């Protein structure tokens, strides 16, 4: 029995120590952990790619972690606590719930560890800056493209992912306000919400198409919404509707290649990761940073989807 | 082999004690090995602040594990503890934020809601004879849905209830002993563990808990109303889940209605690492507590070592299998 116990112990120790040397920090090396909202989604993997790139260029060590899904607020807090224990030079943080993280962010602040918010802001003045997409400007660009494609007049509708999150509100309003101010001949007949869920968005989009058989265009505010619209158009068999989407993903890029979708806005997740690490290093060196660092966005369609610049920010 | 038999109380008790002690030793030894291993591997691991972070990360899962332990000892399983925790948190939010009642009502609401939900599961299992796996799976979905409905799918914040976040984040102990700033959440975990261990080992309810898991039929044939005791145990487990609901809501200063799925499996993993048998009749609260600590130490340690997240998951899974295998080997008659 003793020998078995010893065996287990030895195994545990080997596991721990075996894993350690390869990844453990050397003294004096700058360490910047990034705590993200997610980990396994393609979008977050693209953010990680950008962060890795910056870390290599600037000679710092980063880690990138996020909870299994976007509901696990407490798991994200635990990740932040573990990151703080590791004497980081700075921390990158994409808050699932700003409020819940405030005590730990304050702890970081008191320890003089700069915090860079990425992807979405934190309701606090602790972060040195926020690296994110200007969603309002990006959605305005979608409105411009839509107007151009349908000839400056007609009826359009929006399928949004939700009415409470910052991104949901900014993308919806960016599109609606641009339509109202610049294109008086275009009427937005309906704005509905599909929770970013492909199936739910499909049903929502079908209902809009049924109610408005003369619709000219539809805008989906994220990947799930956009794919929902494409599904709806496909199931209803209409082909007079111009569809503009948001983000990428295999289904969306396929739809653009096949012409079912006219084009889409893509954020620059790689840029978000890159700029976060860059800003973290700048903050450590005491440089002044703007309140928000816009990481940029692009409009892509059949004509430029294979350009190097676009391919670098798309994900499957 | 280690089940309670009523005809030979003394030898059975001593055998039970031996088994429990050994199991504790094994789990405890693994915990110590992990702590030493991580301390050697990283100078940042063994700091007071990080140890407190680990204990705080254990508090919610530990309380859930204690609740599940009671149900598992009866030979059942409870898959609903994660979403039940969320549901009790949401009800607390309704009581404190929507209705604006004082803090104490929120605390009572959480525990009462948990006990009620638990007794529902218990009724499904005992009276309606639905297998516990199915009954609590149904309960898990019902409660997940109700949490979303009641909260309007938005987090409920406790900003209007001063002191609510102190339940988990504050430190009564730290005010008395500034050198030991243990958060209240951790203190509550230990209190819940002590109370549950007392009930399990020193009361009639506890004795029936083991007896139901060992041989329900013989307990029933000896004239005991097994249904009633089973419902009572599920209700007690539910009340403990209510405490977990308070802890997580206080820690996040909000009731997050979508949270909860997946937490039941982590609680069950902690119970199993702690040596409680999934076939019932055997187990200990201390074991589950140590099991929950092992999981938290492992997760935190791998993070501090900056092991890639993909590999963290692999290692955690391997440790669970290893722990249960070690336990089974130890139990084989020699």
pLDDT band at A162 (very low <50, low <70, confident <90, very high): confident
- Position B19 in a domain: no
- Position B53 in a domain: yes
Question: Residue B328 pLDDT more than 80?
Answer: no
The domain defined by A27-133+269-296 carries CATH number 3.30.70.20: no
A15/B30 touch (CB, cutoff 8 Å), yes or no: no
The least confident of A15-29, A180-194, A195-209 is: A15-29
d(CA B55, CA B181): 12
> What is the 3 state secondary structure string of chain B?
CCCCCCCCHHHHHHHHHHHHHHHHHHHHHHHHHHHHHHHHHCCCCCCHHHHHHHHHHHHHHHHHHHHHHHHHHCCCCCCCHHHHHHHHHHHHHHHHHHCCCCHHHHHHHHHHHHHHHHHHHHHHHHCCCCCHHHHHHHHHHHHHHHHHHHHCCCCEECCCCCCCCHHHHCCHHHHHCCCCCCCHHHHHHHHHHHHHHHHHHHCHHHHHHHHHHHHHHHHHHCCCCHHHHHHHHHHHHHHHHHHHHHHHHHHHCEECCCCCCCHHHHHHHHHHHCCCCCCCCCCCHHHHHHHHHHHHHHHHHHHHCCCCHHHHHHHHHHHHHHHHHHHHHHHCCC
Whole-number percent of chain A with pLDDT over 70:
91
Specify the pLDDT at position A194.
85
Chain B closest CA to A9's CA: distance in Å? 6
A13/B36 touch (CB, cutoff 8 Å), yes or no: yes
Question: Residue A201 pLDDT more than 60?
Answer: yes
B50/A85 touch (CB, cutoff 8 Å), yes or no: yes
Q: Is the ipTM reported for this complex over the cut 0.95?
A: no
* CATH code (residue B144): 1.10.3470
Q: Which residues of B touch A74 (CB under 8 A)?
A: 60, 248, 251-252, 259
For B145-189, the pLDDT digits (tens) are 999 999 987 889 998 888 898 998 888 888 888 888 889 999 999
Instruction: Please indicate if any CB of chain B lies within 8 Å of the CB of A71.
Output: yes
B330/A1 touch (CB, cutoff 8 Å), yes or no: yes
pLDDT band at A28 (very low <50, low <70, confident <90, very high): low
Most confident of A173-182, B2-11, B309-318: A173-182
The domain defined by A135-267 carries CATH number 3.40.50.1970: no
Q: Which residues of B touch A77 (CB under 8 A)?
A: 251-252
Q: Between A98 and A113, name the one with better pLDDT.
A: A113
Whole-number percent of chain A with pLDDT over 90:
59
A82/B304 touch (CB, cutoff 8 Å), yes or no: yes
CB-defined contacts A:B, below 8 A: 139
Question: Residue B25 pLDDT more than 80?
Answer: no
- Position B20 in a domain: no
- Position B21 in a domain: no
Question: Residue A20 pLDDT more than 80?
Answer: no
Prediction pTM value: 0.76
The structural domain count of chain B equals 1
Asked if B303 and B278 count as a contact pair (C-beta separation under 8 A), the reply is no
Specify the pLDDT at position A16.
47
Tell me which residue in A5, A25, A82 faces B300 most closely, judged by beta carbons: A82
Q: Which residues of A touch B26 (CB under 8 A)?
A: 5, 8
Tell me which residue in B33, B155, B305 faces A97 most closely, judged by beta carbons: B155
- Mean pLDDT, chain B, integer: 89
Of the residues A30, A78, A113, A195, the best mutation for testing chain B's interface (the one with the most B CB atoms within 10 Å of its CB) is A78
Q: Which residues of B touch A38 (CB under 8 A)?
A: none
Q: Which residues of A touch B319 (CB under 8 A)?
A: 12, 15
The least confident of A19-23, A243-247, B69-73 is: A19-23
Tell me which residue in A12, A17, A97 faces B30 most closely, judged by beta carbons: A12
Tell me which residue in A12, A73, A74 faces B37 most closely, judged by beta carbons: A12
Supply φ then ψ for residue A313, to 5 degrees.
Answer: -105, -5
Question: Residue A60 pLDDT more than 80?
Answer: yes
Q: Which residues of B touch A63 (CB under 8 A)?
A: 303, 306, 308
Q: Angle at Cα A301 formed by Cα A296 and Cα A302, nearest 5°? A: 145
d(CA B99, CA A151): 53
Q: Which residues of B touch A99 (CB under 8 A)?
A: 157, 252-254
Closest CA to B191 of B179, B173, B174: B173
Chain B closest CA to A81's CA: distance in Å? 6
Instruction: Please indicate if any CB of chain B lies within 8 Å of the CB of A304.
Output: no
Chain B closest CA to A149's CA: distance in Å? 37
Q: Which residues of B touch A85 (CB under 8 A)?
A: 44-45, 47, 49-50, 53, 300, 304
- Position B9 in a domain: no
Asked whether this chain's domains A27-133+269-296 and A135-267 adopt the same fold, the reply is yes
Question: Residue B1 pLDDT more than 70?
Answer: no
Q: Angle at Cα A125 formed by Cα A124 and Cα A127, nearest 5°? A: 95
d(CA B279, CA B10): 24
A78/B57 touch (CB, cutoff 8 Å), yes or no: yes
- Position B11 in a domain: no
What ranges do the domains of chain A cover? 27-133+269-296, 135-267
> Region A271-298: what's the mean pLDDT?
93
The least confident of A4-18, A213-227, B88-102, B220-234 is: A4-18
A5/B29 touch (CB, cutoff 8 Å), yes or no: yes
Tell me which residue in A72, A85, A87 faces B53 most closely, judged by beta carbons: A85
Domain that includes residue B94, residue range: 49-331
Chain A closest CA to B7's CA: distance in Å? 30
Specify the pLDDT at position B8.
44
For B28-87, the pLDDT digits (tens) are 888 999 999 999 998 889 988 889 889 988 999 999 999 999 999 999 999 999 999 999
Question: Residue B2 pLDDT more than 60?
Answer: no
């Amino acid at each position: 029995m003793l020998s078995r116990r010893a065996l287990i112990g030895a195994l545990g120790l080997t596991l721990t120590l075996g894993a350690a040397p390869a990844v453990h920090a050397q003294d004096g090396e700058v360490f910047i952990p990034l705590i993200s909202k997610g980990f396994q989604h393609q979008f977050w993997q693209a953010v990680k790619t950008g962060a890795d790139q910056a870390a290599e260029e600037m000679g710092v060590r980063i880690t990138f972690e996020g909870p299994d899904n976007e509901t696990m607020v407490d798991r994200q807090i635990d990740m932040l606590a573990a990151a703080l224990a590791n004497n980081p030079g700075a921390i990158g943080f994409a808050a699932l719930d700003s409020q819940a993280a405030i005590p730990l962010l304050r702890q970081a602040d008191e320890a003089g560890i700069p915090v860079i918010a990425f992807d979405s802001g934190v309701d606090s003045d602790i972060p040195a800056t926020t690296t994110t997409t200007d969603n309002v400007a990006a959605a305005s660009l979608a409105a411009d493209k839509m107007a151009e494609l349908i000839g400056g007049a007609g009826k359009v509708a929006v399928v949004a992912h939700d009415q409470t999150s910052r991104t949901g509100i900014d993308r919806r309003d960016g599109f609606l306000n641009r339509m109202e101010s610049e294109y008086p001949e275009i009427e937005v007949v309906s704005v509905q919400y599909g929770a970013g869920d492909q199936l739910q968005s499909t049903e929502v989009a079908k209902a809009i198409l049924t109610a408005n058989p003369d619709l000219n265009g539809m805008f989906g505010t994220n990947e799930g919404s956009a794919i929902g619209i494409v599904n709806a158009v496909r199931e209803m068999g209409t082909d007079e509707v111009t569809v503009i989407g948001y983000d990428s993903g295999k289904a969306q890029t396929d739809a653009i290649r096949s012409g079912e979708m006219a084009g889409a806005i893509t954020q620059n997740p790689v840029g978000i990761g890159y700029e976060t690490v860059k800003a973290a290093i700048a903050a450590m060196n005491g440089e002044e940073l703007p309140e928000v660092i816009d990481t940029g966005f692009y409009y892509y369609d059949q004509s430029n989807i294979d350009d190097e610049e676009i391919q670098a920010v798309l994900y499957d | 082999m280690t089940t309670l038999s009523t005809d030979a109380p003394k030898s059975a008790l001593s055998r039970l004690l031996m088994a429990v002690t050994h199991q504790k030793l094994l789990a405890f030894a693994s915990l110590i090995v992990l702590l030493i291993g991580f301390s050697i591997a990283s100078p940042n691991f063994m700091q007071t602040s990080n140890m407190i972070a680990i204990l705080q990360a254990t508090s919610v899962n530990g309380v859930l594990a204690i609740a599940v332990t009671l149900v598992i000892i009866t030979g059942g399983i409870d898959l609903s503890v994660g979403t039940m925790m969320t549901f009790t948190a949401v009800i607390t939010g309704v009581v404190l934020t929507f209705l604006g009642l004082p803090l104490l009502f929120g605390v009572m609401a959480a525990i009462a809601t948990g006990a009620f939900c638990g007794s529902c599961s218990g009724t499904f299992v005992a009276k309606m004879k639905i297998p516990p796996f199915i009954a609590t799976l149904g309960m898990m979905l019902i409660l997940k849905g109700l949490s979303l409905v009641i909260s309007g799918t938005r987090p409920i914040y406790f900003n209007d209830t001063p002191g609510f976040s102190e339940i988990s984040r504050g430190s009564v102990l730290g005010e008395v002993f500034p050198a030991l700033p243990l958060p209240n959440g951790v203190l509550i975990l230990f209190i819940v563990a002590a109370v549950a261990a007392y009930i399990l080992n020193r009361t009639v309810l506890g004795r029936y808990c083991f007896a139901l898991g060992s041989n329900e039929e013989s307990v029933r044939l000896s004239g005991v109303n097994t249904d009633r005791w089973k419902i009572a145990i599920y209700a007690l487990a539910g009340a403990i889940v209510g405490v977990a609901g308070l802890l997580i809501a206080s820690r996040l200063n909000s009731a997050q209605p979508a949270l909860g799925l997946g937490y039941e499996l982590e609680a069950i993993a902690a119970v199993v690492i702690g040596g409680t048998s999934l076939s019932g009749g055997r187990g200990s609260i201390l074991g589950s507590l140590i099991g929950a600590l092992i999981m938290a130490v492992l997760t935190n340690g791998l993070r501090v070592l900056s092991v890639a997240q993909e590999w963290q998951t692999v290692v955690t899974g391997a440790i669970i299998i290893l722990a249960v295998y070690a336990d089974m080997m130890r139990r084989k008659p020699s």
